[in-house]
Amino acid sequence: MDLALFQHKYPTLVGVDISSASVKLLELSMTQQGYRVESYAVEQLPADAMQEKEFKNVEAIGAAVERVVKRSRTRSKYGAIAVTGSTVITKVIQMNAGLKEHELASQIELEAERHIPFPMAEVNIDFQVLGPSSKNPEFVDVLLAASRTETIDTLVEVLSLGGLTAKVVDIEAYAIERAFSLIADQLPSEGEHQTIAVVDIGSSMTTFSVLHDRITVYTREQIFGGKQLTEEIQRRYGLTYEEASLAKKQGGLPEDYTTEVLEPFKDAVVQQISRSLQFFFSSSEYTEIDHIVLAGGTSTLNGLVQRVEEKLGIPASIANPFANMTIAPRVSVPAINADAPALMICCGLALRSFTHDHQY
């Protein structure tokens, strides 16, 4: 395939994250002091452009990508973008360690047919050797990833409409994992020997990932997000969706907002996290979580992180992948700090400029 899910290093890539409500763009560079944010911007999407993570209006999304590229003033022409967990199949398989690259590629084609429930003509597949297999030293573990060609083609088209060439198509959960490496340094034991849940609460989707020793061991998506709070504000106070969205961020709602709307929503978030934890414990050998990292736009709701800690009895914090980065003069520091928790996937994608391969 021409467009690999795990590609090697390219000229500077911008990370482009298309969620149900917005398009986010981030460009990083590497300096002697470490990573630096070179450019970033966020553009809201029209309400009907996306449904959950499904592209409903490709032209409108392409136009938003074009606007976000212009606003960010990036000079890069190359983009990294991600497919969601529900549109990609990943599987770790064991292959003979003695195979050369081209032999491995043709063996993978045969293996893929057994593991993928779609005709091979309709999928893009890619693979990466993870290292020696713990099950048998004569074998290596290979990560196989497959996504429908039409899904990949849509992502490529959307970036192209915005003036960018797609060089990397990644997987959201692994973009979160890559960005998590920046946050782990801020956590106890730097995430080593720790089991940490990252809960990315977007507008309409929540991605629940668990990392052990900084490596993703579990991921689950559910339809739940900040949109529910916006819709409740809209319904209760007779506002348009746009007015409700603005009021949620800027305040100015009636006195009963906190007790009648915000507090019940925060409890609903805790309930969703609690449910995801139960699913995780029941489907894995893990029995406890050491820390919860909240990400996504909803994570910054006043008092939410404290509510999660209090109700679940697990230390929690809000993600900021830029805490140890320098920021270019043209980037607004207050703006990027406010958006930081929502830029985890974007940041993980932008980091592909510096990773020669996938770190598992």
Equal CATH topology for 87-149 and 187-319: no
pLDDT of 298 strictly over 60 = yes
Residues 175-228: tens digit of each pLDDT = 999 999 999 988 888 888 999 999 999 998 999 999 999 989 999 999 999 999
pLDDT at 259: 94
Beta strands 13-18 and 78-83, pairing class: parallel
For the residues 62-78, what does the mean pLDDT come to?
Answer: 96
Write the burial class of residue 334 (CB in 10 Å: 0-12 exposed, 13-18 middle, 19+ buried): exposed
In CATH, the number for domain 87-149 is 3.30.1490.300
pLDDT of 102 strictly over 90 = no
Nearest-angstrom CA–CA distance, 30 and 8: 17
pLDDT at 1: 38
pLDDT at 108: 85
pLDDT of 161 strictly over 90 = yes
Residues 115-159: tens digit of each pLDDT = 888 888 898 988 888 889 888 888 988 888 889 999 999 999 999
pLDDT at 51: 79
pLDDT at 286: 95
Indicate the DSSP class of residue 181: H
Can you give the residue ranges of every domain in the chain?
A: 87-149, 187-319
Domain 187-319, CATH class in plain words: alpha beta
As a whole number, the mean pLDDT across the chain is 90
pLDDT of 360 strictly over 80 = no
296-309 burial, b if ≥16 CB within 10 A, otherwise e?
A: bbbbbbeebbebbe
User: Is residue 115 within a helix (H) or strand (E), and if so which, with residue range?
Assistant: helix 101-115
Q: Which two tokens stand for residue 32?
A: 């002697």
